[in-house]
Structure formats: structure tokens, C-alpha cells
Amino acid sequence: MAYQHIEVSLNNGIGTITLNRPPVNILNISMMEEINNVLSGWQDNKDLKVVLFNAKGKCFSAGVDVGEHTGDLAPRMINAFHGMFRRMDKLGCLTMASVYSSCLGGGCELAIFCDLVIASEGAKFGQPEIQVGVFPPIAAQIMPRIIGRKAANELIFSGKIISAEESMRIGLINKVVKDADLPKETEEFLKPYTGLSAEVIRQTKKAMTAGLLDDLDPSLGPIEDIYINKLMATHDAQEGLKAFLEKRKPVWKNE
């Protein structure tokens, strides 16, 4: 099946989803629905070992379309966005991201949600959502589990952007390679998993998740409720998003 915003391949147990929405792979609803369609189609594939997310263009992804955070589109956007993670979680296989240049907002959440992340030395990671009056729901769920609460607090509340080296140092990603070597190094990074049993991978991942008592849905549901029914009902969330779209500083009312 041909897609407008992504490229897809499935070979030898490796499913690859390539973000391809020039120039900076902004994740709009249409693009996320395409990703969900692919992930749904792979749900019953017993041979699937790894799902790899990579990208074409200037960067991995500059985030989710801010314009689709507003008005009646917001619930549909959240449903499509969170649908990707719920489907990734249900697949049970390993997930991997190969990242270069900007990896921000929803793009950062997509990458760090993956079990394994390789990045080029020029990659930058960050969750700047709070600066436009919202928060990153997936990062709020998973980032404290990856790097601990204190480090997650610093990144989510400051909205700062950090280098690939810093991201690796704090445990947000696994490996940093030279920019020009990313495609080759990604292939090498995949190799240890291609010879494994897909079923053993699924059971091992299930066991690790059980050991952490880290099921996605029980914690993501309350986060969604806060985002849609409380955060988006505030003046400041609407003002922050509107100011971003109008390229001006937001005027906060703290309400």
C-alpha cells in the first residue's frame, strides 16, 4: 500500500517506517493515521522482531502539528498520536529509532518511546511543549521511567533541548555515532536482534514490562484526561498555542 507521508518495508522480521513529510517531518493527523494503519496491519505478524523508525529530510521530526492541537481537532490529534504508542506497545516486538538532527516534541516522544535509540552526533532531543502552554503526555508517562523523575522534571518543565551526547549520558538513548555513519551504524545496531526468535523477544519484553509494573494504558488514561479535559480548557493552553502560530510571545493569565 502506498502512503503519502511515510515509506514502509517489511523484510526478514524487520518492519521499517520512514517518516517522509518534508521538510521537517511534522506529525499531522493524516501522517499519524498512516503510521497507525501500518502498525495495526502488523499486529498479528508472528515473525516481526523489530520495528525501526527512521526518517528522510532535514531532521527526524520537529514534532506534532501545533495547529492540530487547537479547537475540535485536539481530541482527534491526541487519539491519533497516542494510538501510535498503544499499537507499538501491543506489538510486543522490539522498537528502535534511528535519529538525526532535530528530534523534538512529539518526534522526541516517538523516538524515546522506542526500546532502543541510535542517534547521530548532531541530533538534538527536547520537549519544548511547556513553552507554548501544554505538556508532552507520552514523555510525562515514560520519561520518568527511563531517566528518573529528577532528570525528567528538568527536561519537561524547562523545555530545554539537549545534545545526543547528553541524551546518552542520562540514559535517554543508547548510542551516538558520527553523522555520516548513521545508516551503516543503524544496520549494525540491528544485527544482534535479527537472529533471535520473534516469540522469545515478545515474551522477554513482556516479562521486563511485568517486572517494572509498567503497563501503558493504566497510566496514560489519566494523563489523557488531564490533557484534554483540564489543560486544554485553560486560557493559557489556548493562548500558548495561538501565540506560537502567530509567532509572538504568549501573554499568560495563569488560568
What is the predicted pLDDT for the residue at 2? 87
Q: How many residues does the chain have?
A: 255
Give the span between the Cα atoms of 139 and 155, in whole angstroms.
10
Residues whose CB is less than 8 angstroms from the CB of residue 34 and which lie 6 or more positions away in sequence, other chains included: 3, 4, 5, 6
Burial class (CB in 10 A: 0-12, 13-18, 19+), 45: middle
160: left (phi over 0), alpha (psi -120 to 50) or beta: beta
CA atoms within 13 A on the CB side of 48: 24
What is the predicted pLDDT for the residue at 182? 98
Give the span between the Cα atoms of 16 and 190, in whole angstroms.
12
What is the predicted pLDDT for the residue at 238? 92
Give all domains of the chain, ordered by start, each with its CATH number.
1-180+197-255 (3.90.226.10)
What is the predicted pLDDT for the residue at 205? 93
| CA end-to-end span of the chain | 46
Residues whose CB is less than 8 angstroms from the CB of residue 223 and which lie 6 or more positions away in sequence, other chains included: 137, 140, 141
Long-range CB pairs of 239-248, under 8 A, 24+ apart, other chains included: 239/133, 240/131, 240/132, 240/133, 240/134, 241/66, 241/69, 241/70, 241/132, 241/133, 241/134, 242/70, 243/132, 243/133, 244/66, 244/132, 245/66, 245/67, 245/70
Residues of the chain under the 50 pLDDT cut: none
Give the span between the Cα atoms of 170 and 46, in whole angstroms.
34
3-state secondary structure of 127: coil
Q: What is the pTM of this model?
A: 0.91
**E runs forming strands in the chain:** 6-11, 14-19, 50-55, 94-99, 102-104, 116-120, 124-126, 161-163, 175-177
What is the predicted pLDDT for the residue at 72? 87
**What is the chain's Cα-based Rg?**
18
